[in-house]
Amino acid sequence: NVESFTYQATDANGNTVTSTITIDVVDDVPTAHANTNSVAEGAIATGNVLSDATDDVFGADGAAAGGGVVGVAAGSNTASPVSGGLGGAGIAGTYGTLTLNANGSYSYDGFANAVPAGGATDTFVYTIMD
């Protein structure tokens, strides 16, 4: 957002000068960092996507009201922000169900007998807002 203000100053002799002040406000957007965790088949993993090994960074505004996470989806498409899917029954992945809350806390409940030999990876994307 750019705002401009023009002002005029006059001295005791009647001389005037006009000038403009321009203010360009640049919003510092939040930055989410990739998160990883591992879990045994049929077990539950927990954590917090906002404050794990590499904290997510919110702008000067701080996290959005309610916590900062505004959406989660299964898959790896980061082309556009996701919304919804928080809390409740969770989001089903291929090998388990992720329940992510607005405050960043999550639990991943791995399906029993679903992982092939050698292991597997479930991928989810989330969006944060300040």
Q: Is the pLDDT of residue 1 over 80?
A: no
Whole-model pTM? 0.78
What pLDDT was estimated at residue 54?
84
- Give strand pairing partners of 100: 106
- Alpha carbon of residue 47 to chain centroid: 15
Q: Are 72 and 100 in contact (CB under 8 A)?
A: yes
Helices (H), the chain: none
What pLDDT was estimated at residue 46?
97
- Give strand pairing partners of 94: none
Summarised one tens digit per residue, pLDDT across range 3-27 is 999 999 999 999 999 999 999 988 7
Summarised one tens digit per residue, pLDDT across range 46-61 is 999 999 888 888 888 8
pLDDT grade for 38, boundaries at 50, 70 and 90: very high
Separation of alpha carbons 112 and 116, rounded Å: 11
Summarised one tens digit per residue, pLDDT across range 64-123 is 777 899 999 999 999 999 999 998 889 999 999 999 999 999 999 999 999 999 999 999
